[in-house]
């Protein structure tokens, strides 16, 4: 394993975060604060509690998941797309490093960034509501798995995309709606029975449910099932990336 190459990619990608501090860190914090003002205050004043948890605190796991997923995809997709866009990816592919080391460098940096943002949002949320974490180990596990999985998805999108518009297609038009419809701001049990069944086909439900369980001990689906779904998603992404480098899909002329 060429750790020096991995470190070079990782450090370069992480340095981009601090060069764009306003966009990378400040913007998600401001967006989260607005969510608390709108949902926590306006709607929270009309809903006293959900499953024994105050509404403002109930939406914290969903807000963290929403930001972490979109940021992980965005960071990873742009990180690999930009070298492809300017042509330096060919120098990377011709260098004496394996595709595993390339993936570890880019995905590791994107996952680290999204993990940092998730923890910052958690800290920000604590200024607005009383946040309790009953199972901190499970919370960290879900957060790390989500960061890695969606960074892998972002890496795939960065390889697939032909332009900058396509980089935003999946996060804005697919992932964000799935998160909003996946129980971020409500419990699945609040829906009519038929919509509860339909919602279970949304894979994001299992991530948010397991993550919320780590905070408050309540979940819409079983914990083991939630862990199984995120692990399956991670393995699928790894399989797709292996196929991309094996076949040269959109990375070799």
252 domain residue, yes or no: no
Which domain range does residue 179 map to? 3-247
253 domain residue, yes or no: no
In sequence order, the 6+-apart residues with CB closer than 8 A to the CB of 185 are 39, 43, 59, 62
110 domain residue, yes or no: yes
Q: What is the pLDDT along the chain (253 residues), one digit of tens a residue?
A: 888 989 999 999 888 777 766 666 777 778 777 877 777 666 666 777 777 888 888 888 988 998 899 889 988 999 999 888 888 888 888 888 888 999 999 999 999 999 999 998 898 888 888 888 999 999 999 999 999 999 999 999 999 988 888 888 878 888 888 888 888 888 888 888 888 888 888 888 999 999 999 999 988 888 888 999 999 999 999 999 999 988 988 887 6
pLDDT at 212: 93
| Owner of token pair 């996952």 | 111
Q: What distance in Å separates the CA atoms of residue 157 and residue 168, rounded to the nearest whole number?
A: 9
Q: Count structural domains, the chain.
A: 1
Task: Count CB-CB contacts under 10 A for residue 17.
Answer: 18
Query: What pTM did the predictor assign?
Result: 0.91
123 domain residue, yes or no: yes
pLDDT at 253: 64
149 domain residue, yes or no: yes
């Amino acid at each position: 394993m060429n750790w020096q190459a991995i470190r070079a990619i990782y450090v370069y990608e992480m340095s981009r975060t601090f060069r764009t501090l306003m966009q990378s860190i400040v913007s998600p914090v401001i967006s989260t604060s607005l969510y608390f003002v709108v949902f926590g205050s306006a709607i929270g004043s009309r809903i006293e509690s959900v499953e024994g948890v105050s509404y403002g605190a109930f939406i914290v796991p969903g807000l963290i998941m929403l930001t972490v997923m979109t940021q992980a995809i965005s960071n990873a997709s742009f990180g690999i797309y930009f070298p492809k866009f300017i042509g330096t990816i060919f120098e990377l592919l011709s260098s004496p490093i394996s595709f595993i080391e390339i993936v570890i460098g880019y995905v590791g940096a994107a996952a680290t960034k999204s993990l940092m943002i998730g923890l910052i949002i958690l800290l920000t949320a604590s200024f607005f509501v009383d946040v309790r974490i009953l199972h901190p180990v499970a919370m960290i596990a879900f957060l790390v798995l989500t960061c890695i999985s969606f960074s892998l998805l972002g890496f795939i999108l960065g390889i697939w995309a032909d332009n900058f518009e396509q980089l935003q297609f999946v996060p804005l038009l697919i992932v964000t709606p799935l998160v909003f419809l996946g129980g971020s701001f409500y419990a699945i049990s609040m829906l009519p029975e038929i919509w509860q069944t339909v919602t279970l086909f949304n894979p994001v439900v299992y991530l948010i449910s397991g993550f919320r369980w780590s905070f408050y001990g309540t979940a819409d689906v079983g914990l083991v099932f939630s862990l199984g779904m995120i692990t399956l998603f991670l393995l699928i992404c790894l399989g797709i990336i292996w196929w991309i480098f094996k076949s040269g899909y959109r990375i070799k002329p």
